[in-house]
Structure 1
Amino acid sequence: MISAAADSRQQLRAEEILRQRERQIYRRIDRMFAVLMMVQWLGAVATALCVSPRTWSGATSEVHPHVWYAFWAGGALASLPVWLAWRRPGDTITRYTIAVAQMLFSSLLVQVSGGRLETHFHVFGSLAFLAAYRDWGVLMVATALVSADQLIRGIFWPLSMFGVATADHWRWIEHTGWVLFEDLFLLITMRKSTEEMRNNALQTALFESHHADLHRYSEQLHRSFEKERSIIEGSLDAVVELDARGKVLNWNGPAERLFGWTVAEAIGSQLEELVIPEHDQQRYLAGLRQLTESPAGSQVHQRFEMECVARGGRQFAVELAIVSIQGSEETTFCAFVRDITDRKSHELDMRRAMEESEAANRTKSEFLANMSHEIRTPLNSILGFAELLVRNADEGDERTRRDYADTIRTSARHLMELINNVLDLSKIEAGKMQVERARFSPHQVIAEVVSLLRVRAIEKGIVLNYRWDGPIPETVTTDPHRVRQLLINLVGNAIKFTEQGSVMIVAGVAREGDRGLLTLEVRDTGIGIEPSKLSDIFHPFVQADSSMTRRYGGTGLGLAICKNIAAALGGDLSVDSQLGRGTTFTAKLEIGDLRHVRMFEAPPDAATGDYVDRPISANLQGVRVLLADDGETNRKLIQVFLSRHGAEVQTVENGEMACRIALAEQFDVVLMDMQMPQMDGYAATRKLRSLGFLKPIIALTAHAMKGDREKCTFAGCSGYLSKPVNVDELIRAVEVAAGLELRHDELVKQEKEKKIKRALAGPIRSSLPTEDEMLREIVAEFVESIPARLDAMERALADEDYEELQRHVHGLKGSGGTAGFTCLSEVSAELESYAAARKGDQAAALLGELREMEPLIVV
């Protein structure tokens, strides 16, 4: 079916080609006859002029009529064929018109020549020319026309045809016979020519078909080649084509980039000599031989990892895959090379990460076991001694009952410390640990830490003390709470791991340019740490020895927290230890500029003393508090604490009840637990604020992470306390919220007023030894700057630019203390707090006091 359809298409194409060629012949011969007509016209006129140019009548002569006949008749005969050959070449009407005109030209020539025999040959020539059309119809029309001409003129005008006055009536048959004889040969010739044209057209059609097939096949090969080349060139892998001997035949772009050799340099080289190091060449050649010896037609390939060397000597790991390609003449190979350096590195990193993950899991498992033990120990004490109190095991003895209560409180604080450590670590790991910068006395902080932990040291029979190595700064600038936390952890650890001897805190300061560093060394005479463990002790959940955990307890979090605190304060924490002889932890903390800080040779006579946990004294008489908390124990405890200070407390269990009662009755403060059933504290606070409740709402939440305070504030809370609630903080918060903070600060304020009155009674002089010329110059420079400072404060206050006011007041506070004017620092400190709270009236009053003091300040 396919062959028959192809033959049919070829036949149709051959016919089309034949018609095209016939039309080309027709057009070409039409143009030839157009020229011939013009030549014949001129020839007819010339013949007439030669044969009978003139006719005579006696002694006169004139142009022979044949001449005029040749001119006009010849022009008429030539005009139409020439026009048709010009305007419609190749058309059927054109060639038939030319055939008629051509034969009439033969008749014209015979007539103007007087029937000469020579002109009759023009008829035979015309038929031969017309046979060039290869159209038997044209030849037949011409033959019929010439036969009719010879018949008619031979009978009626024999002189014009045969050149005689009378002729045999059958003479025209003789002439016609010769014409038909010529036609016979011409028709045979035309038939053979037409057959040749037809065969030629068929051959051309076949050639075109084969050429089209060849072109399509060539296009397919080209597309296949381009596709293969694009795939190879676009491949991420290096692709190398090899012959059976391992010689490079092709080399793509990635291979150039991977190995550094160009295509021109690589082609013709042995691959093993070019890119394979000596120690891997034998393995490569063995794999190549195995591929070469594989049975014909089998698809065999080799894949292995090995080392390759690039131009310049760089070695790297690759994955090499070689595939055999069976050709008609020889077998070639295609090698795919992939750089697996990164993969190898990732695999190594993954193995390390898995090992570290397994180690971390083991460490965390140990930590959970330790934490479980650490939490259960104080929890057992709390539950046990609480059970004794419930069962009246003290038998009414007040001293025993207080001893039980003290044990419960101590255990609870220890439990709270464990939880705080875990929370601190989670803040550190989340990158959310915050530090503050404030001025404080480092001597005060160290003394408080020593006082706090001295009882624990005495219980173990060891000495806990501290000293300063060098001058002692009056104040430093950093976060006092984080410094205290750092020292408590370090000193607590030192006491824990020291059985006899002492624990010593050595403090000192150093200057690095304009920057000051506070150095805190905690030295102990304890068990020490193995050198191999020193790099691990600052990791979370890790202790130097797990057996130490069982012996001494602990969670392994303290040193990790200390390390991060030191880093957050712009310093570092390091350790030096000798096994069995003791350990020294050294913390270096950035403490700001020390150029204007007063330095002491001995600790100042400040009210440092021992750190004593004294209960706060407050009067909440007449304050109504609404407490919303779903925990019955929390409600009872908070109600007892506030009631003992005079507050009237009403409790509810959820946010919905809190909203209903807060709107129905009058309360001064609302304490709102943020996690409650039915309606939580966030929803309850938003609802109260939307309904116009304006009284203070203090959030109570067990969440103490960064962002929790902001979340409560956004809900509408005006205060924030984290659970478990510190009693002093709770009472202070209620006192401030109820507007009773003046009661708490009354004594402090009265004392300050006394100092100011005493100062206003006479000149205010610096406490510095101004007999020293240099110090006197510093004090004088400060005194001269006071009026400008106060002017700047008044302008900032008038513009209500509290940030600018706070900045100027802070500068006066620090400079006043440095210059020895303590009264200025005290008033400035309070003014700074009012500026931070944007309390303009209070700030204006204190600024007025500073103006009163200004003229009394002298050098």
Structure 2
Amino acid sequence: MFLHQRSKHMPVTAKAVFDGMLQDTHKTTDRIFAFIMSVQWIFGVLCAFFVSPLSWDGEISRTHLHVWAAIFLGGAITALPIALAIKLPGHLITRLSVATGQLMYSALLIHLMGGRIEAHFHIFVSLAILSAYRDRVVFLPAVAITVLDHFVRGYLWPQSVFGEFAVVSWRPFEHAAWVLFETVSLCYLIGQNLEQSAIVADLHVALKADRDDLESKVLERTFELDETRVFQERILDSIDAEICILDQDGMILFVNERWRNFVATNAGDQRSTETGANYLDACDRDDGPLGKQSKNLAVALRQIAAGQLDSFVDEYPCHHGETERWFHVRVNRIALREINAIALVHVEVTEAKLAQQRAASLAKLVLDSPDEVYIFSKERFNFVEVNHGACKNLGYDRETLLSMSPFDIKPQLSESDLRELMEDLLAGKVETINFETAHRRSDGTDYWCRLNLHLSVLESEEVVVAFVTDISDRKRLESQLSQAQKLESVGQLAAGVAHEINTPMQCVFGNVEFLQTSFERLLALSDHVVTLLEKSELQWSEERKTLSELREKYKYDYLRIQTPEAIKEATDASSRVISIIRAMKIMSHPGSTRKSSTDIHEMIDQASIITRSRWKNVATIEFDFDADLHTVDVLPAEISQVFINLIVNAADAIAEKIGPESSELGKITVATRLESDWIRIAIRDSGTGIPKLLQERIFDPFFTTKEVGKGTGQGLSISHNVIVNCHSGTMDVESVDGVGTTFIIRIPRFPLEDAIPSQTNHNPVPLITNPDLSGLPTTSTSY
């Protein structure tokens, strides 16, 4: 099969088109040959009838053999190609059968016409028609049959092919040459035709691709436009607003679903507010409750359409029975598909209106609150808003206070202190910070207050909001409660302290009696000695004997040994009584607002002396003091109270564990350590321990696990307040139920007058002390 070379290198789609074109050509040519061969068969039969219908033998005639050959042989040659052309059009076997049958019929027709030269033109016409297949293969059987027929019959039966009786040797070659010449010419033309067909196939594919691409783009763009339109309509329908788009003449171009519902809800004429209606006319005709707003809106729409206004904004109430609804209307010019349009938007703002009214009410409540509220800039720290409570408590008018800053009402506070205080707040690590401090009024007096600070936004500016509560009364009550707790401790320890004082006083009394007796004897002895010395007439031997008698009589040797010991015992007992009294005096003293340099170890020792009656029968006490720890600036009375509370609690826990009948003694250990800039004090006992669930509550006021009458629940609460608030320290507990408890105290080694308090969001809050504020238990330099 000689397929055109170009088809082998075509793109797949172009080759498919090319092959399709050839296949259509083959089928069409098959049908043409089916018709031609039918006609030429009939023509051959007619030729046989007209040229030599009869054959004669004398006077006898019969149908000529040519007639039968035309009918039957011609029918046989024609039948198969026609059948294949009908049943298998376009197949190669059909084309080969047609080419073979067509040229065989040409040979038959030449024979029927007696070899006439005109009949040979049938061969050339047949070859020309076969070229319509555009398939060179069909020429193989056609040319082969024609050439073979000419040579065989040209030499064996020249009359049937050339119409001559004599054989002409060159005649077959001449006819064969003409046949081959035409075949070569037709093959060339077929090649040219196939080339053009391939080009046409390429163009067809390219055009089809361009057309498909164009159609695809058109469909895609149409789809995108439809999607965009639907999307925009859905967006407008989903927006929580009533939207109407108008042209310059007030004609409605588009309304969303909420607009339709809005009109229906407000008993409006939907036909006058639907697409295609004139909205301006509808507004002009509105004589209902909203007629005034409608007419104002129509005026604004006409001004915007005329270019006199850029936009229009209005708010109006709409009543539905007893319910009042507020709407916000906004009109703007927009460009819509190259058309200058007007967007009319209604938004219900009832909730916002109510929220605004509520916010105004809340703002009034805040402004009128007796508590102080300050709002100051996060960056510049100047007050941007204050309430009436702040003005009243500080004694400034609002204008004066707004020109001030936190540093004016807290003179000890610096900007760096405030930034350090709010470091975690500004960094977003905590939401609020709470602490207690003192503010200074316009008359120069200070008062205690509690602050809660958090970040907020006011008119697009980041601000710090401070809620301030005056706690002066609470501080006075706390001071009184602390003193009452001290007196309570004194009362609880009174019997034990009396016993502790009674024992050394008995020792003192006994030794004083002994010293009195010894003094009388020594005085009597000295009197006798003086008398003896005055009697000079006595001999030394007699004096010596008399002195020996007096020495034995008044027990001089015994007194000589015992008297110094008695004096020492009396002195020691007196010192013990003095130390107990001094410790009691320090503990019961109201205390001072100023810290003083104090020996912590001495304070612990004095606390153990005062509480000795509580622990001596149930525990031993051990001290593990750090030799490098000397004096610390603290409030002595308050720190002493803390140590007493903790030692008493330790003794009670041990007593509860061992029971009243046990001779076993528990153990209390007090250890101190110097840790960089902090002092760590740990008081550990071997008592009952504290259950895990109760450890979070032990510092709460009035919380106690003791029986009624044995405690008020104030000891640990006040101790925690003293350590955390008065000394800027920490107080923690570690306990194992049934094993024992350790209270760990950490206080700064150096004074913290200028320090910043640690930040927390729960009670108890940290506090920075300032011993220079007279009349206050403690003060803070932090805002």
Compute the TM-score of the two structures, normalised by the length of structure 2.
Answer: 0.41
> Larger RCO: Structure 1 or Structure 2 (Cα < 8 Å, ≥ 6 residues apart)?
2
TM-score, normalised by the number of residues in structure 1: 0.38
- Bigger-Rg structure (1/2): 2
